[in-house]
Structure 1
Amino acid sequence: MTEKQTWSQRFESALHPAIARFNASISFDIELIEYDITGSQAHAKMLAHTGIISHAEGEALFSGLEQVRQEYRQGQFQPGIDAEDVHFAVEKRLTEIVGDVGKKLHTARSRNDQVGTDTRLYLRDQIHQIRQLLRDFQTVLVDIAEKNVETLIPGYTHLQRAQPLSLAHHLLAYFQMAQRDWERLADVYSRVNISPLGCGALAGTTFPIDRHYTAKLLDFDHVYANSLDGVSDRDFAIEFLCAASIIMVHLSRLSEEVILWASEEFRFVTLKDSCATGSSIMPQKKNPDVPELVRGKTGRVFGHLQAMLVIMKGLPLAYNKDLQEDKEGIFDSVNTVKACLEAMTILLQEGLEFRHQRLATAVTEDFANATDVADYLAARGVPFREAYNIVGKVVKTSIAAGKLLKDLQLEEWQQIHPAFAADIYEAISPRQVVAARNSYGGTGFVQVRQAIINARTQLGVS
């Protein structure tokens, strides 16, 4: 049998060893140790501030907790399974350092509001880090876009050639996705940054605590207005996991494109050795491992979101042990998102090269300029739907003849409709097709250059 725990005087015997291992969270919630110490230091200050303990006791608790922090950082404090969780581990070590005054730390507090505080402090820190990684990712996208405003790439709908695009415009679409991710995390942060400290187990406390004082010490914007809600709320975790999942959606979409672009069928990019691997039996292979792993890891984060929703859907108020299961999913999602953002940023910056000649050829191989023929006629007074039908017939007959639109002779154009003139060839050239789409937010070069300026401005916002 294991050693009896702090709460176990109510019980005749200790937990069965297997149940103790099953019940313990120290193996993963040790991740929270520094946040637990920070929260406990604020709690100790508040106890002294309100006269619940003396100032001398408050100072002893604060300095003792700081010693625990330093011991952990130096590898001298490494609690094991007997500690059950990070909160008991810190309190036990604190009491060894400062004596019986350490037992006063838990006055007017429960593990329920304590773990809620720790988790929010952790997520706050991680959101800042993820937002910075998003900025790094966005910066690389803009850097590449700036060099490729007039580089053309086929645009697709339904994975069929649709219309040519500026490569910069294509990359800036991912910049905008990441911008929404950056903004979304700021919104999530506002609901993470609410303090449950002082809610107690579920009903508050009889001690004259000052919850706003601890909230200010810990830089929380608000405190929970309802103690039941404060200890049982995990909306903030669900929102974070949702935001993390959307980040992974965006990274996975870009990953899929890079995988396609690197294939022999597309040949739009070349993978550099620093970000690719080979086959164990096929010496010619160069595999896009980074985007494939990002695409694969996306499912992990989705799974954690689903798990959190399922955990919460049937829980009565207030705290339930099920909520111990929130941490591993949060921790893994944080680590996965950070690793994937870093890897994709490196891949874009150092791991691939766009094959400009292949791209230039690719935009001349199809009928992606057909809409521009219809627009040409519409600009000369032909109703667009009529023009659309005319061009549809032209494409059909051209395919049958093995020709592209650019291969038609002027006489053939004029047989189709007398509005066609010699300038039709310039109008349907890939570069002009792209340049002409100068509506706000379009792929026209003027718009793309302005979009890059706007993106640089957004990157300067903290």
Structure 2
Amino acid sequence: MTQRPQENQSHNSYKLWGGRFSEKPNEALQELNNSLPQDARLYADDLDASKAYAEALMRAGHLNATECDKLVKSLEIIRYDWVERLVKFEPSDEDVHTVNERLLVALTGELGKRLHTGRSRNDQVVTDMKLWLRKAIRETLSRLRLLIESIVSQSESHLGVLMPGYTHLQRAQPVQFSHWLLSHAFALREDCQRLAELRERSNVLPLGSGAVAGNPLGIDRIWLAERLGFAAVTGNSMHAVGDRDFVVDFIYCCSMVSLHLSRLAEDLIIYSTKEFDFIKIADSFSSGSSLMPQKRNPDSLELIRGISGLITSNLTGIMMTIKGTPSTYNKDLQFDKQYCFQAFDKLSQSLDVAVGVIETMQVRRDQLEAALSSDMLATDWAYYLVRKGVPFREAHHHIGRVVTLAEQRGVDITEVPLGELQQICAAFGADIASVADYGYNVQQYDAIGGTSTASITEQLRLLKNLDKQLRQQS
């Protein structure tokens, strides 16, 4: 087992700066300045970037092979301590970078102080954030894939089940239940595309930018980018250290996912009420009332809906933080991690719960199809007249008169006698009776994206292809 040197008093007050200061930091400022509660989770990314930077220093002639090897192995020892929760924070620790360097110096002595040669926490932290972001995007895409899978599974199981389609929360046209459910999957599909695009666009290495002016010590940034899996390097050091657009973009993507989850949750909450009774949320994703014994509340969905506001507030927070900063790095940017990590964590919780809700919910076919009403045939009746050669605007007007007549008499439009229909429009014939079949009418909507079985089958194919792509990229 590797022996770790005991830290002396000088290590306990280890700082990455301070030579020009004659007074210790104010305690209130020191507490405010401490970002460890947020950035400690970057420890692995910081160690990965530090290992690569040690190798880059060796390639540039600032370390020999033995020194580089010792630094790399010591960084792995530190990783072990983090994983096993053996790392102890000191009052003087400001951030994860301070902790890792303090531990490295404790293991390697003066050699550990050479690792920071030509590197600043400015380019160090933005590199760490980009390394973390790659993993966060991968995990978010994996969760999105599971949710889309659960939606596809429920849609396949209930193919052919009819329900009212709504606009303005008013009954509009008959659709398949699968068509409605898949509409949410296609919103999530766009979220996947946004995240994948962000992953490619943000995969640019900032390390080697120094504090503001760049690196003068012959560091091969192209090699460093390849070593860390980046596709390119940043083109301007001042922009690189102050850039948090990728954080904004990620929180925006999280916000969009949360908005889509909120809309799905809202639909499910409405459809689970006794007034609709289209679906039943499993007991494991419901809760009861402390007063009313009969209650089954969809708390899981309400929490998803509420979390959406929290995630979106993080987007507003990071944008307002950046808005007020001058160019390059400013300490305001320390809060990027708080906004970013909370958005990721809360979205992860929401996605996990949403998967469970969709997988376990019961679909009440009888209730869905009992909610269909003949007034929802009005559009198909208008199309019937169109097929008879009546211009759509006139057909729309004629069917509107039929609906009004039926309402006045308190009957369905299918109960209006043929003779009276013909008085409204001579194009009506006895074959109008065939347009009273909801299932038949639904199958007519076979254009790409429609609610016919053929169209839904194609939608399922597209989503299954997306599933394969996400599996390959994970």
CA distance in 1 between counterparts of 2:25 and 2:280 reads 59
Q: Which residue is 1:5 aligned to?
A: 15
Select which of 440, 448, 452 maps to 2:456.
448
The offset of 1:415, in angstroms, is 4.0
TM-score normalised by length of structure 1? 0.97
Q: How many residues align?
A: 459
CA distance in 1 between counterparts of 2:90 and 2:259 reads 37
Q: Which residue is 2:438 aligned to?
A: 430
CA distance in 2 between counterparts of 1:416 and 1:81 reads 86
Residue type at the aligned position of 1:428: A
CA distance in 1 between counterparts of 2:230 and 2:103 reads 27
Q: Which residue is 2:363 aligned to?
A: 354
Identify unmatched segments of 5+ residues in structure 2: 1-11
SS at 1:94 equivalent: helix
SS at 1:326 equivalent: helix
With over 3 angstroms needed to count, the CA separation of the structure-2 counterparts of 1:28 and 1:317, relative to structure 1, is same
CA distance in 1 between counterparts of 2:453 and 2:201 reads 40
The answer on whether the counterparts of 1:27 and 1:81 sit within 8 Å (CA) in structure 2 is no
Q: Which residue is 1:158 aligned to?
A: 168
Q: Which residue is 1:231 aligned to?
A: 241
The offset of 1:247, in angstroms, is 0.7
Q: Which residue is 2:3 aligned to?
A: none
CA distance in 1 between counterparts of 2:135 and 2:124 reads 17
For residues 57-76 of structure 1, the aligned pairs below 5 Å read 57-76=67-86
Residue type at the aligned position of 1:197: L
Deviates more, 1:322-331 or 1:442-451: 442-451
Q: Which residue is 1:402 aligned to?
A: 410
CA distance in 2 between counterparts of 1:161 and 1:270 reads 21
CA distance in 2 between counterparts of 1:8 and 1:104 reads 17
The offset of 1:80, in angstroms, is 4.6
Select which of 193, 216, 222 maps to 1:206.
216
**Matching of residue 91 in structure 1 with residue 101 in structure 2:** yes
The offset of 1:4, in angstroms, is 6.8
Select which of 279, 291, 295 maps to 2:289.
279
CA distance in 2 between counterparts of 1:411 and 1:457 reads 52
CA distance in 2 between counterparts of 1:414 and 1:73 reads 80
The 4+ residue runs of structure 1 with deviation greater than 4 A are none
The offset of 1:32, in angstroms, is 0.5
Deviates more, 1:183-192 or 1:109-118: 183-192
Residue type at the aligned position of 1:44: A
Deviates more, 1:66-75 or 1:9-18: 9-18
Residue type at the aligned position of 2:391: P
Residue type at the aligned position of 2:26: H
Residue type at the aligned position of 2:369: A
Q: Which residue is 1:421 aligned to?
A: 429
Q: Which residue is 1:120 aligned to?
A: 130
TM-score normalised by length of structure 2? 0.94
Deviations 1:278-335 (A, max 9, x none): 0110111101111110110001111111111111112212110000010001000111
Residue type at the aligned position of 1:53: L
The offset of 1:225, in angstroms, is 0.8
The answer on whether the counterparts of 1:120 and 1:192 sit within 8 Å (CA) in structure 2 is yes
Select which of 325, 333, 347 maps to 1:315.
325
CA distance in 1 between counterparts of 2:208 and 2:358 reads 47
Residue type at the aligned position of 2:371: A
CA distance in 1 between counterparts of 2:25 and 2:32 reads 10
The answer on whether the counterparts of 2:35 and 2:334 sit within 8 Å (CA) in structure 1 is yes
The answer on whether the counterparts of 2:225 and 2:231 sit within 8 Å (CA) in structure 1 is yes
CA distance in 2 between counterparts of 1:89 and 1:374 reads 72
SS at 1:11 equivalent: coil
The answer on whether the counterparts of 2:402 and 2:421 sit within 8 Å (CA) in structure 1 is no
CA distance in 1 between counterparts of 2:297 and 2:92 reads 46
